Amino acid sequence: MLVVDDDVDSADIVAQALEMHGHETRVAYEPLYALAVAAEFRPQVAILDVNMPTMGGHELGDALRKDLPACKFIALTGDATALNYLRSQWAGFDGHLTKPVALNELLIAISDPRPSGTFPRNPKVDALFRDPTTRPPRQRAWIFVHESPEVLRYWTTELGCTEAELRDAVAEVGVNSDDVRRHLRK
- How would DSSP label each residue in 11-51? HHHHHHHHHHTT---EEESSHHHHHHHHHHH--SEEEEES-
- 22 confidence band (pLDDT: 50, 70, 90): very high
- pTM metric for this prediction: 0.64
Say which residue, 107 or 137, is predicted with more confidence.
107
What are 124-174's pLDDT values in tens digits?
Answer: 555 555 544 444 444 446 777 776 677 778 788 888 888 889 889 988 888
What are 36-82's pLDDT values in tens digits?
Answer: 999 999 999 999 999 898 898 999 999 999 999 999 999 998 887 77
Which pLDDT score is estimated for 87? 82
Q: CB of 54 within 8 A of CB of 30?
A: yes
CA gap 50, 17 in Å, rounded:
20
CA gap 67, 170 in Å, rounded:
41
Which pLDDT score is estimated for 121? 52
